[in-house]
């Protein structure tokens, strides 16, 4: 079994937060089980360096690999044992007893057949980025990290076919060579294509659907029905749409074909507004601009609007102020709060915000003061950019954080209901009334509908639009358990309001911890039962995965009928 050369960042499936798992870090890098010695210290170091270079930070992508000697029944793919895993923020961590990494389609099929015979859990994992640890299961996991080839680009048909372990960034890079790109993508692009689409992730733009809609055909390996080749317009198009967003429970996606669009340049404009102005302009913004997102800043009247559209030929951007000038309010606040803060001239906006917040992150008044400073920063940051869409669409997400993002209907593209604006006004009132230490920003984005029944943006009606709202609390080691508690109570307000607005949650962010207690859990299940056809989904799970090799606690608890 030959191992491929270490593809950069791909080992993120085994990734964890080194700082949070110190005991494993050293041991993991030096102790590798005799039967699986593919990665050397040098390879891990190389990986860590690449992660650092990509700017995702060690908090997100440091590799830890701990092993214990335990008897393993050898199947067609030798697993790594006792692998420490974590999501990007280090808020969900566990040790996977076994991590299987097939290196060919044949190995993958043999592995799934063997796992079925042995009743070995093989929960599929992508880059393990989902904030809720959706992919994680301690009993056994399967990573497609070694199956990440670009199979073909069809320039005429504007499609790309890749193995399921290919990362979004890798796909974008390949497409650029052919003058193509993806229609939309998320704030980061390190997800594997299967992980990204299985959760029905999204970018922003009320005329652009969730990312699963890019898939036109796919191969999926199932224990119940063998390997299926499904197409949007094929005889199994219904099954195709169910499997496209399957949360990893319907089979292991091994290959996908995605539709692409010609590469294009975006003209982005950032400006600040008030809720009164926004109410007047909101429908126009959604209908006019290709991409629209808002950042609501709690405890202030400021809403940051970021809109972009295809750049007109010869257009020139109205540049923003120099960075030094924009950062001045944060530098001033930090020096005032902590005169001994040292040299902060090299710090960027997110670093300065973090240094301010960490000083008293659960004190609502303190957080409000930081938020007010952030509003000043954004007022000074108004301006424009023109660049390739791949350079414009991603954005800074801040440091380690707790997050809960929902998705709710807000009318049609022809007639937006403004429920999205009402939602935010109500949420801001709750934050202020309850004295919640709510950090900025609260991101609000939009998509059109998905035709995948398990997408949070599923609708049978073309023209329906959905808003996605994410609340966050940055987490720092110093106060991590208390921050978790406080975030739970913040998240519960978001949950209650989501139900009121007929919404559901991003599959990569829904978390049973925000629905603890029998009443809250029952309310969640009722909500999911109303939003999705869980009977059909359950029947498909039984048929495709009769022994439940792929489900985990989250999917089994939330989605059982």
Ligand X SMILES: Cc1cc2nc3c(=O)[nH]c(=O)nc-3n(C[C@H](O)[C@H](O)[C@H](O)COP(=O)(O)OP(=O)(O)OC[C@H]3O[C@@H](n4cnc5c(N)ncnc54)[C@H](O)[C@@H]3O)c2cc1C
Question: Which range, of 190-198, 222-230, 315-323, 429-437, touches ligand X by CB under 6 A?
Answer: 190-198
Of these, 79, 102, 409, 508, which contacts ligand X (CB under 6 A)? Answer: 508
- Residue 265 is encoded by which pair of tokens? 């340049």
Minimum Å gap between C-beta 502 and ligand X is 20
Minimum Å gap between C-beta 336 and ligand X is 30
From 376, 359, 375, select the one nearest 474 (Cα to Cα): 359
- Residue 512 is encoded by which pair of tokens? 């049973």
63 binds ligand X (CB under 6 A): no
Minimum Å gap between C-beta 482 and ligand X is 22
467 binds ligand X (CB under 6 A): no
User: Using CB under 6 A, which residues numbered 246 to 305 contact ligand X?
Assistant: 247-248, 252-253
100 binds ligand X (CB under 6 A): no
Minimum Å gap between C-beta 271 and ligand X is 21
Of these, 51, 125, 421, 438, which contacts ligand X (CB under 6 A)? Answer: 125
126 binds ligand X (CB under 6 A): yes
Q: What is the DSSP letter of 78?
A: P
Minimum Å gap between C-beta 554 and ligand X is 9
188 binds ligand X (CB under 6 A): yes
Q: What is the DSSP letter of 153?
A: E
Q: Is 79 helix (H, G, I), strand (E, B) or coil?
A: coil
How many residues sit in the footprint of ligand X (CB under 6 A)?
33
From 536, 337, 344, select the one nearest 453 (Cα to Cα): 536
224: left (phi over 0), alpha (psi -120 to 50) or beta: alpha
Alpha-carbon gap, residue 191 to 182, rounded angstroms: 14
Question: Which range, of 101-109, 184-192, 315-323, 332-340, touches ligand X by CB under 6 A?
Answer: 184-192
Of these, 14, 36, 202, 244, which contacts ligand X (CB under 6 A)? Answer: 202
134 binds ligand X (CB under 6 A): yes
Q: Residues 64, 66, 71, 76: what is their CA dihedral angle, to the nearest 10 degrees?
A: 20
**Are residues 282 and 418 in contact, defined by beta-carbon separation less than 8 angstroms?**
yes
196 binds ligand X (CB under 6 A): yes
**Are residues 140 and 124 in contact, defined by beta-carbon separation less than 8 angstroms?**
no
Matching residue, tokens 């992730």: 201
**Are residues 357 and 370 in contact, defined by beta-carbon separation less than 8 angstroms?**
yes
32 binds ligand X (CB under 6 A): no
Nearer to ligand X, 283 or 473 (CB): 473
**Are residues 488 and 410 in contact, defined by beta-carbon separation less than 8 angstroms?**
no
Minimum Å gap between C-beta 539 and ligand X is 19
**Are residues 200 and 522 in contact, defined by beta-carbon separation less than 8 angstroms?**
no
Minimum Å gap between C-beta 321 and ligand X is 27
List Cβ neighbours of 15 (8 Å cut-off, separation of 6 or more).
51, 60, 61, 62, 63, 64, 85, 86, 127, 128
Buried b (16+ CB within 10 A) or exposed e, 32-70: bbeebebbeeebbebbbebbeebebeebbbbbbbbbeee
Nearer to ligand X, 59 or 285 (CB): 59
Question: Which range, of 124-132, 155-163, 335-343, 419-427, touches ligand X by CB under 6 A?
Answer: 124-132
Minimum Å gap between C-beta 277 and ligand X is 26
Nearer to ligand X, 66 or 218 (CB): 218
Minimum Å gap between C-beta 435 and ligand X is 28
Minimum Å gap between C-beta 440 and ligand X is 16
454 binds ligand X (CB under 6 A): no
Binding residues (CB under 6 A) for ligand X: these are: 88, 123-131, 134-135, 144, 164, 186-188, 191-192, 194-196, 198-199, 201-202, 247-248, 252-253, 397, 506, 508
């Amino acid at each position: 079994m030959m191992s491929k050369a270490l593809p950069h960042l791909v080992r993120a499936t085994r990734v964890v937060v080194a700082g949070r798992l110190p005991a494993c870090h050293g041991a993991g890098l030096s102790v590798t089980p005799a039967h699986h010695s593919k990665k050397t210290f040098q390879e891990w170091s190389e990986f860590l360096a690449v992660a650092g270079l990509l700017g995702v930070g060690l908090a997100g992508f440091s590799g830890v690999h701990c092993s214990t000697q335990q008897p393993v029944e050898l199947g067609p793919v030798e697993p790594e044992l006792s692998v420490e895993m974590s999501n990007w923020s280090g808020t969900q961590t566990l040790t996977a007893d076994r991590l299987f990494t097939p290196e060919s389609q044949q190995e993958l099929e043999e592995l799934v057949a063997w796992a079925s015979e042995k009743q070995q859990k093989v929960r599929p994992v992508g880059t393990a980025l989902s904030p809720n640890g959706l992919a994680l299961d301690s009993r056994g996991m399967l990573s497609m990290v070694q199956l990440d080839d670009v199979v073909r680009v069809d320039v005429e048909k504007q499609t790309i076919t890749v193995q399921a372990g290919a990362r979004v960034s890798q796909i974008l890079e390949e497409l650029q060579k052919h003058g193509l790109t993806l229609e939309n993508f998320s704030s980061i692009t390190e997800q594997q294509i299967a992980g990204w689409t299985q959760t029905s992730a999204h970018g922003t733009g009320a005329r652009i659907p969730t990312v699963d809609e890019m898939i036109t055909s796919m191969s999926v390996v199932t224990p119940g029905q063998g390997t299926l080749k499904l197409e949007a317009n094929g005889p199994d198009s219904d099954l195709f749409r169910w499997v496209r967003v399957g949360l990893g429970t319907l089979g292991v996606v091994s290959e996908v074909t995605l539709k692409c669009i010609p590469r294009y340049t975006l003209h982005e404009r950032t400006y600040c507004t008030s809720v009164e102005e926004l109410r007047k302009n909101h429908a126009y913004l959604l209908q006019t601009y290709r991409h629209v997102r808002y950042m609501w800043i709690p405890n202030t009247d400021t809403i940051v609007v970021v809109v972009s559209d295809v750049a007109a030929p010869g257009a020139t951007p109205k540049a923003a102020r120099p960075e030094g000038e924009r950062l001045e309010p944060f530098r001033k606040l930090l020096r005032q709060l902590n005169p001994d803060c040292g040299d902060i001239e090299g710090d960027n906006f997110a670093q300065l915000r973090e240094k301010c917040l960490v000083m008293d992150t659960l004190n609502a008044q303190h957080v409000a003061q930081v938020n007010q400073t952030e509003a000043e920063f954004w007022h000074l940051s108004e301006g424009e950019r023109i660049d390739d869409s791949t350079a414009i669409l991603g954005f800074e997400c801040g440091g380690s954080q707790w997050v809960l993002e929902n998705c709710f209907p807000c009318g049609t593209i022809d007639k937006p209901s403004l429920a999205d604006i009402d939602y935010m006004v109500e949420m801001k009132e709750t934050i202020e009334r309850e004295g919640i230490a709510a950090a900025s920003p609260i991101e609000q984005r939009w998509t059109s509908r998905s035709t995948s029944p398990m997408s949070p943006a599923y609708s049978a009606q073309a023209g329906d639009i959905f808003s996605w709202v994410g609340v966050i609390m940055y987490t720092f080691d110093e106060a991590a358990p208390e921050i978790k508690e406080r975030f739970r109570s913040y998240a519960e307000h978001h949950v209650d309001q989501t139900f009121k607005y007929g919404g559901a949650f991003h599959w990569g962010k829904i978390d049973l911890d925000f629905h603890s207690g029998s009443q809250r859990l029952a309310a969640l299940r009722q909500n999911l039962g109303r939003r999705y056809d869980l009977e059909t989904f359950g029947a498909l799970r039984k048929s495709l995965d009769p022994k439940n090799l792929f489900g985990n606690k989250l999917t089994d608890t939330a989605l059982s009928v």
